[in-house]
């Protein structure tokens, strides 16, 4: 009865390739790893990028119009879209974790539903602010 | 059997709590900034400059920057502890992270009080 499960070597920790390619994560798990990925992206490069744009745009009239022209470039707009998604996802997933920390919505069904909500709301926010940008 | 060496006094709880408090601070700032930007429309250089010339927004942005540095430190340290198994490399990356975050803070202060 216990043989197969007991003998199976369990990994001591989960490597990044294992998380990415071997393990089929449930939806809350995907939201969780995206929370990590978006957090890492926000630290580097997006925080530096935001500071760069804030710096130039506040420095002078010329800098302000330079940033406006810069934001018209398709590659920059795509980067901004990813920035907006990372911020939205990190914020929405973060609010979900704060609520979970208060022991609310921790059963399977509401936890799955809120994970869905995080994905949908953050994509909707990205679409809205992306549309504003374009 | 779990062999666990416990060091320090509740610093894990302190970091856990700090990450959540700074998260709330940043979420509130995000809302405030959104409202302020929407109210400052149409989007011109004068309006943008006047927005960040206000003392309260400068202070709020500074509080945001400090919260971000603290929050990001806990988060990045967690990521490094999970994935970087080599002690020396992990320490080097942690030092780089602290320097990067300190640099961000200095840059933010420079932008705000120019």
Residue A102 within a domain: yes
**Residues of chain A with C-beta less than 8 angstroms from the C-beta of B100:** 43-44
Whether A43 sits inside 8 A of B76 (CB atoms) is: yes
Continuous segment of H or E residues that includes residue B49 = helix B45-53
Pick the CATH number of B11-112 from 1.10.3720.10, 3.20.20.80, 1.20.1300.10, 3.20.20.70: 1.20.1300.10
Cα–Cα distance measured from residue A124 to residue A129, given in angstroms and rounded to the nearest whole number: 9
pLDDT value, residue B80? 96
Whether A91 sits inside 8 A of B30 (CB atoms) is: yes
B83 touching A, CB under 8 A? yes
pLDDT value, residue A10? 67
> Using omega within 30 degrees of 0 as the cis cutoff, is the peptide bond preceding A45 cis?
yes
User: What residues contact B26, with CB distance under 8 A and at least 6 apart?
Assistant: B64, B67, B68, B71
Q: How confident is the model at residue B67 (pLDDT cuts 50, 70, 90)?
A: very high
Which contacts qualify for B81-86: CB closer than 8 Å, 24 or more apart?
Answer: B82/A13, B83/A15, B83/A16
Summarised one tens digit per residue, pLDDT across range B30-46 is 999 999 998 887 889 99
B28 touching A, CB under 8 A? no
Q: How confident is the model at residue A1 (pLDDT cuts 50, 70, 90)?
A: very low
B70 touching A, CB under 8 A? no
pLDDT value, residue B8? 66
A116 touching B, CB under 8 A? no
| Beta carbons of B84 and B93 less than 8 angstroms apart | yes
Angle, vertex CA A18, rays to CA A12 and CA A24, nearest 5 = 110
pLDDT value, residue A3? 58
pLDDT value, residue A81? 97
pLDDT value, residue B7? 66
Residue A110 within a domain: yes
A18 touching B, CB under 8 A? no
Residue A80 within a domain: yes
pLDDT value, residue A62? 97
Q: How many domains does chain A have?
A: 1
Nearest chain A CA: its distance from B48 CA (Å): 7
Whether A55 sits inside 8 A of B49 (CB atoms) is: no
Residue A15 within a domain: no
pLDDT value, residue A134? 82
Continuous segment of H or E residues that includes residue B2 = none
Domain that holds residue A79: 25-40+73-133
Phi-psi region of A122 (alpha: psi -120 to 50; beta: other; left: phi over 0): alpha
A34 touching B, CB under 8 A? no
Residue A60 within a domain: no
Residue A121 belongs to domain with CATH number: 1.20.1300.10
3-state secondary structure chain A: CCHHHHHCCCCCCCCHHHHHHHCCCCHHHHHHHHHHHHHHHHHHHHHHHHHHHHHHHHHCHHHHHHHHHHCCCHHHHHHHHHHHHHHHHHHHHHHHHHHHHCCCCCCHHHHHHHHHHHHHHHHHHHHHHHHHHC
Whether A13 sits inside 8 A of B82 (CB atoms) is: yes
Higher-scoring residue by pLDDT: B10, A84: A84
Q: Which of B99, B104, B109 to mutate to test the interface with A (most CBs of A within 10 A)?
A: B104
Residue A7 within a domain: no
| Beta carbons of A53 and A69 less than 8 angstroms apart | no
Whether B20 sits inside 8 A of A101 (CB atoms) is: yes
**Structure tokens given for B103:** 């640099």
Residue A14 within a domain: no
Domain boundaries, chain B: 11-112
Summarised one tens digit per residue, pLDDT across range A38-86 is 999 999 999 999 999 999 999 999 999 999 999 999 999 999 999 999 9
CB-CB: which of B45, B79, B100 is closest to A36? B79
Continuous segment of H or E residues that includes residue B16 = helix B11-40
Q: Provide the mean pLDDT of chain B.
A: 93
């Amino acid at each position: 009865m216990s043989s197969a499960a007991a003998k199976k070597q369990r990994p001591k920790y989960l490597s990044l390739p294992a998380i990415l390619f071997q393990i089929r994560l449930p939806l809350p798990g995907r939201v969780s790893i995206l929370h990590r990925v978006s957090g890492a992206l926000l630290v580097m490069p997006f925080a530096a990028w935001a500071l760069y744009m804030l710096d130039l745009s506040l420095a002078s009239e010329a800098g302000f119009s330079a940033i406006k022209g810069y934001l018209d470039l398709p590659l920059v707009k795509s980067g901004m879209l990813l920035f907006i998604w990372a911020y939205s996802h990190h914020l929405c997933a973060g609010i979900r974790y704060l609520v979970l920390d208060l022991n609310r919505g921790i059963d399977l069904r509401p936890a799955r539903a809120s994970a869905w909500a995080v994905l949908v709301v953050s994509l909707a926010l990205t679409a809205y602010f992306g549309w504003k940008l374009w | 059997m779990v062999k666990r060496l416990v060091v320090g006094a509740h610093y894990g709880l302190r970091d856990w709590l700090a990450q959540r408090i700074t998260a709330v601070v940043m979420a509130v700032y995000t809302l405030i900034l959104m409202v302020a930007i929407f109210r400052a429309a149409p989007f011109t250089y004068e309006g943008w400059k006047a927005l960040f010339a206000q003392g309260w927004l400068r202070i709020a942005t500074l509080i945001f920057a400090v919260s971000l540095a603290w929050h990001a430190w806990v988060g990045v340290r967690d990521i490094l502890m999970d994935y970087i198994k080599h002690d020396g490399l992990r320490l080097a990356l942690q030092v780089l992270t602290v320097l990067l975050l300190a640099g961000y803070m200095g840059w933010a202060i420079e932008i705000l009080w120019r």
